[in-house]
Amino acid sequence: MAGLTGRMSTVVKAKVSKLLDRAEDPAETLDYSYQKQVEQLQNVKKGIADVVTAKKRLQLQETSLQQQVVKLDTQARQAVSSGKEDLARVALERKNIAQTELQSLDTQVTELEAQQEKLTDSEQKLRAKIEAFRTKKEVIKAQYSAAEAQVKISEAATGVGEQMADVGLAMQRAVDKTENMKARADAVQELEAAGTFDDITALGPGEDDIDRQLKSLSSKSAVDDDLAKLKGELGSGDGGGGAGQLPAGAEEEPATADPAKEQSA
Which residues of this protein are in contact with other proteins, per CB under 8 A?
Answer: 1, 3-9, 11-13, 15, 18, 114, 118, 122, 124-125, 128-129, 131-133, 136, 155-156, 158-160, 162, 165-166, 168-170, 172-173
Nearer to other proteins, 131 or 224 (CB): 131
> Minimum CB separation from other proteins for residue 16, in Å?
8
> Minimum CB separation from other proteins for residue 218, in Å?
51
Distances (CA, A) of 96 to 3, 93, 166, 195: 46, 5, 42, 14
> Minimum CB separation from other proteins for residue 60, in Å?
26
Nearer to other proteins, 113 or 186 (CB): 113
> Minimum CB separation from other proteins for residue 171, in Å?
9
DSSP string computed for 114-164 = HHHHHHHHHHHHHHHHHHHHHHHHHHHHHHS-HHHHHHHHHHHHHHHHHHH
Asked if residue 74 lies in contact with residue 94, where contact means CB atoms within 8 angstroms, the answer is: no
Nearer to other proteins, 168 or 240 (CB): 168
Q: What is the DSSP letter of 28?
A: G
> Minimum CB separation from other proteins for residue 24, in Å?
19
What stretches of the chain show up as alpha helix (H) in DSSP? Answer: 4-21, 29-81, 85-143, 146-193, 209-234, 237-264
Q: Which of 180, 186, 172 is nearest to 57 (CA)?
A: 186
> Minimum CB separation from other proteins for residue 124, in Å?
7
Nearer to other proteins, 38 or 70 (CB): 38
Nearer to other proteins, 176 or 238 (CB): 176
Angle between helices 85-143 and 146-193 (to 10 degrees): 170
Asked if residue 75 lies in contact with residue 198, where contact means CB atoms within 8 angstroms, the answer is: no
Q: How far apart are CA 200 and CA 188, in angstroms?
A: 18
CA-based angle 26:32:33, to the nearest 5?
95
> Minimum CB separation from other proteins for residue 34, in Å?
13
Nearer to other proteins, 1 or 255 (CB): 1
Nearer to other proteins, 88 or 170 (CB): 170
